[in-house]
Amino acid sequence: MRKKIVAGNWKMNKSWPEAMELTKSLSLNSSSFPADVQVIVSPPALYLQGVRSELPETLAIAAQNCSQHESGAYTGEISAGMLKSMGVAYCIIGHSERRQYYGETNEVIREKIDACLKNGVTPIFCCGEILSERNSGEHFNTVSTQVKQALFHLSEEQLALVVIAYEPVWAIGTGVTASNEQAEEMHAFIRSIVAQHYSETIANDISILYGGSVNAANAKELFACPNVDGGLVGGASLKAADFTTIIQAAQ
Ligand code: PGA
């Protein structure tokens, strides 16, 4: 059975007092969150522990990135094992901003996926095309390559632990959301390549989130698409009221 998930990616936003204010508001609102939706909050790494301690147990936290290495001389990095040891259940991997600004390749992303799975952290694997790829009709190829190179070396049991987030880069932070049809089409495509390589069962069971300018007004329609299992939300997750509406829309 695939899970409905709404994850809020705070990116590099908010001072510590602001982060606490948002966390406390979400805690207060959490009694109105649907029981069958897994809510995940992804603050900057520095705040993970503080945010964890203020949130009810039913909400999970996610790191926004981790190292592909186990441990050692990697100044500034955080390992998946460290995340696990701090009660961090999820980690966003391969976000387009990591690909674009920090040179993360499909190869590095694959290693990070492996590091997460080895350490019992659930990866939220991000994929998605840039605008020129969509305009030239290359978007299925791009996403297929990203998914295959990062995930298709995994065993069926391992893949079953992964969450996929389709985030068209042209929709991230732009206010331009993919249409319901565009989202549904790509989600169904991702499910079809998973079915081809693995099985229908695993394809049906894997959660595929949509990300890219999800907001309180468009979430319900997007989440109603049969192959969309929730969302990875950036800007709108920084406001407790909006994020709460989005969570409720996933019911
Ligand atoms: P956005 O970001 O909702 O602000 O477009 C989504 C994301 O980058 O995960």
Q: Where are the domains of the chain?
A: 4-249
Give the Cα separation of 40 and 247 in Å (integer): 10
The predicted pLDDT at position 1 comes to: 76
Helix (H) or strand (E) holding 14: none
State which residues of the chain have pLDDT below 70: none
Atom of ligand 1 nearest to the CA of 165: 9
Q: How far is the CA of 167 from the centre of ligand 1 (A)?
A: 8
Report which of 184, 196, 134, 190 is spatially closest to residue 162, judged by C-alpha positions: 190
Taking every pair of C-alpha atoms in the chain, what is the biggest distance, in angstroms? 48
The predicted pLDDT at position 151 comes to: 98
- Ligand 1 binding pocket includes 87 (Cβ within 6 Å): no
Enter the CATH code of domain 4-249.
3.20.20.70
- The residues that are catalytic are 95, 167
- Ligand 1 binding pocket includes 233 (Cβ within 6 Å): yes
Q: Does the global pTM surpass 0.95?
A: yes
Q: How far is the CA of 175 from the centre of ligand 1 (A)?
A: 9
The predicted pLDDT at position 109 comes to: 98
The predicted pLDDT at position 176 comes to: 92
Report which of 2, 1, 11 is spatially closest to residue 232, judged by C-alpha positions: 11
